[in-house]
Amino acid sequence: MGKMFFVVPGQPKPKARPRFAKGRVYSPSGKEEKRVAGHIRPQMGHWKICGTFVALKLVFYREDRRKVDLDNLVKLVTDAMNGLVYVDDAQIVDIHAKKEHDSVNPRTEVEIWEK
């Protein structure tokens, strides 16, 4: 199997941290994960990595230079692809990620291949 390449248009957003309220812990809405998965799903066809390890290259083109943690950007995308592109994100053994600036065309570029 070769490499797959996906583009998710729009401002890359970080994974929201768990919140605490009334003595309970809860996760904020998964709306952004669903948006990312919704852009990837039509680009992948019937392709899915099942029983092997995977490597990822992620480039986040942000429209602003606001301070955002790279690991939280990565976490949102890997969680959105969980069960969709691969069976479990535990299959990921190699990640290359970086942030870039593009005020005209913010997006996330995802390249994934079997390792």
9 C-beta neighbours (distance < 10 Å), count? 11
Kindly report the pTM of this predicted structure.
0.87
Answer whether 3's CB lies under 8 Å from 113's CB.
yes
DSSP β-ladder status, 107-114 and 54-62: antiparallel
Residue 5, strand partner residues: 111
Per-residue pLDDT of the chain (115 residues; tens, 9 = 90+): 678 899 999 999 998 766 666 777 666 568 889 999 999 989 887 777 877 899 999 999 999 999 999 999 999 999 999 989 998 889 999 999 999 999 999 999 999 999 8
What is the C-alpha to C-alpha distance for residues 43 and 7, in angstroms, rounded to an integer?
Answer: 8
| Element containing residue 78 per DSSP (H, E) | helix 70-81
Task: Report CA-CA distances (Å) from 27 to 16, 18, 49, 86, 89.
Answer: 8, 5, 27, 23, 18
Distance spanning both ends of the chain, measured CA to CA: 10
